[in-house]
């Protein structure tokens, strides 16, 4: 095992065999386990509806890791209009769905380590071939997450993110 494949964690002092390159939110910020009992609400690994009025798709904010050629990704939820959500569902298992134009949405996942908060950033959801999560393109603003998506991050920044997520509350 090479040091390159893993990392020495400053949070626990242990060597981890791998540096995770993906973290994913299990549900949109608005989701509550109590909604599972609501007949107009549902949550799957890909789609979410809340009270028949809020519609979400799970996708990836991908960030290039400039010094390794890899990609770090945040699995996030994006809210869509009812029409765009319905269109997404209709085409979910349709070959060629990736040729659809992007759907406007709002980021509906709060990601740690970013200030200001990431909730409600403007996005475009790009559908990919069947079996692949959509790509979430952030509006090109000066928000730190949008800047990272455009310009990339280093492996050291990935390690900083991972350590924070593995050991929340530690400096």
Residue 170 lies in a domain: no
pLDDT in tens, the chain (171 residues): 334 578 888 888 888 899 999 999 999 999 999 999 999 999 999 999 999 999 999 999 999 999 999 999 999 999 999 999 999 999 999 999 999 999 999 999 999 889 999 988 999 999 999 999 999 999 999 999 999 999 999 999 999 999 999 887 765
Residue 140 lies in a domain: yes
Please report the pLDDT score of residue 10 as a whole number. Answer: 85
Q: Helix, strand or coil for residue 133?
A: coil
Give the CA-trace dihedral at 32, 34, 37, 41, to 10 degrees. -20
pTM over 0.95: no
Residue 2 lies in a domain: no
Residue 168 lies in a domain: no
Closest CA to 133 of 30, 22, 35: 22
Residue 102 lies in a domain: yes
| Token code pair at residue 117 | 């908060």
Residue 3 lies in a domain: no
Please report the pLDDT score of residue 155 as a whole number. Answer: 95
Other CB atoms within 10 Å distance of the CB of residue 152: 15
Structural domain of 29: 22-153
Domain count, the chain: 1
Please report the pLDDT score of residue 171 as a whole number. Answer: 57
Whether the CB-CB separation of 100 and 160 falls below 8 Å is answered with: no
Please report the pLDDT score of residue 4 as a whole number. Answer: 58
Q: How far apart, in whole angstroms, are the C-alpha atoms of residue 48 and residue 56?
A: 5
């Amino acid at each position: 095992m090479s040091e390159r494949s893993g990392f020495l964690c400053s949070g626990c002092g242990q060597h981890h065999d791998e540096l995770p390159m993906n973290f994913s939110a299990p549900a949109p910020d608005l989701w509550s386990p109590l909604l599972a009992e609501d007949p107009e609400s549902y949550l799957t690994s890909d789609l979410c509806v809340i009270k028949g009025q809020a519609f979400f798709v799970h996708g990836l904010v991908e960030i290039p890791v400039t010094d390794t050629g890899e990609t770090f990704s945040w699995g996030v939820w994006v809210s869509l209009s009812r029409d765009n959500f319905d269109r997404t569902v209709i085409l979910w298992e349709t070959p060629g769905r990736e040729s659809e134009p992007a759907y406007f949405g709002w980021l509906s996942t709060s990601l740690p380590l970013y200030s200001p908060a990431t909730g409600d950033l403007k996005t475009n959801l790009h559908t990919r071939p069947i079996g692949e999560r959509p790509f979430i393109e952030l509006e090109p603003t000066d928000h730190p997450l949008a800047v990272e998506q455009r310009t990339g991050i280093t492996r050291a920044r990935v390690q900083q993110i991972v350590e924070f997520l593995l050991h929340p509350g530690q400096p």
